[in-house]
Chain A
């Protein structure tokens, strides 16, 4: 039944629907990516018209360059912590809001507002928070807590994590909330009747049913964290020194300020490859756990 039913004209109609998206997408994203691939094997400095081929030298340099390795290390740490923290808190808040407390909409709005602000502004806000606002709490209460999280390489990651999580927890919480509310109530009833307490119910009923939301959130948070840039530009600018330089920030500084377009292109291509791998691995693993209701 299946294949024979699809006549040629139906195929063409499906194709017609997909074509606009494909065309725009190809022009806007895929072609530039191949251009970037091309530049990554040259020595282009972005200004002179000539480009000399250097083959894979750019890619080899990537491994030797300690600044790039540090940037990758920072980005990886940022991503791992972000994924853990944002997921856990978003899930906790979603469960809390779903448990029937009052003024639920108010809390949802309050937690959601930060994600409407652009990352640049968020960086700006938290820079001021750490250097001006929070230290004045010390003045008022007479305490000596160190709030200058952007001032030393040991605390700058914490500072950035707080800022980034503040912005995005509300967003992922909404996704989990939607997921929670789509769990049929009779599953919970059945579990209750079987004598499962709230914690057991959470792990054995809620979590499996939330698997699609997990996929979306984890993949989204991971790829978003790997691409962090705006936040850094507005707050630490990669500092102090190089302690909070992400891989994209390093690409930008190298390619534009350092005028090494070819090398910068190689860096961004390597990032694309990593992103691809990470996303594919995650989707494969997480999709297996999903139950199609």
Chain B
């Protein structure tokens, strides 16, 4: 009885040491990973003189938000942030919808066309988008805007139809013959 107890405690002691070293190692790793972020955060409060002439790890003399104010002005943060937000929300909605639909269809339907479209889409992921120049981007945006206008036209036509027509439900009964016994 006592030997099993000893063996058990030995195993659990080993496990405990293993756990502790793992904990320590992961803590160090996490700290190392966060250090650059904190340093940049630190930098954001320093004045130009402190940045160039002082030690990199030193804390700023005073917490002043001058840099943030300057960044806000230069980036025109109000407008650009709103634009980015709008763009992100819309993209996420569209992507979630379209990708969800497409992926479901490709996964469910085993026909060759859909397998081909799977590869087709993968190919697109590989192409780096930085290869576009500004003018090409413009041409593409113009196309999208055309599509936009078309979509608007369709939607307004749809709304018109809905307003001038009424939806009526009718129930039909169809005679069906079923075999009850084999």
Contact = CB atoms under 8 A, between A and B. Distances in A.
A and B touch in the complex (CB under 8 A): yes
A129 B37 CA distance: 11
A133 B56 contact: yes
A21 to B, nearest CB: 4
Interface stretch (A102-110, A176-184, A185-193, A236-244): A102-110
Contacts of A29: 124, 127
B114 A133 contact: no
| B interface residue count range (under 10 / 10 to 19 / 20 to 34 / 35 or more) | 35 or more
Contacts of A28: 140
A223 B22 CA distance: 32
A136 B101 contact: no
A101 B22 CA distance: 8
A33 interface: yes
A268 to B, nearest CB: 5
Contacts of A38: none
A30 interface: yes
A96 B143 contact: no
Nearest to B136: A32
A45 B99 CA distance: 37
B75 to A, nearest CB: 13
Nearest to B132: A32
A172 B132 CA distance: 28
Contacts of B23: 101-102
B127 A275 contact: yes
A-B complex: 9 closest residue pairs judged by Cβ atoms: A21-B102, A110-B30, A17-B105, A275-B126, A133-B56, A17-B101, A136-B56, A29-B124, A14-B109
Given A11-B109, A15-B105, A21-B121, 16 more contacts: A14-B105, A18-B105, A21-B98, A21-B101, A25-B120, A32-B136, A96-B26, A101-B23, A101-B26, A107-B27, A110-B31, A114-B36, A128-B39, A170-B33, A227-B128, A272-B126
Interface of A: 2, 6, 11, 14-15, 17-18, 20-22, 24-25, 27-30, 32-33, 35-36, 46, 93, 96-97, 99-102, 106-107, 110-111, 113-114, 117, 125-126, 128-129, 132-133, 135-137, 139-140, 166, 170, 223, 227, 229, 248, 251-252, 255-256, 268, 271-272, 275-276, 279, 283
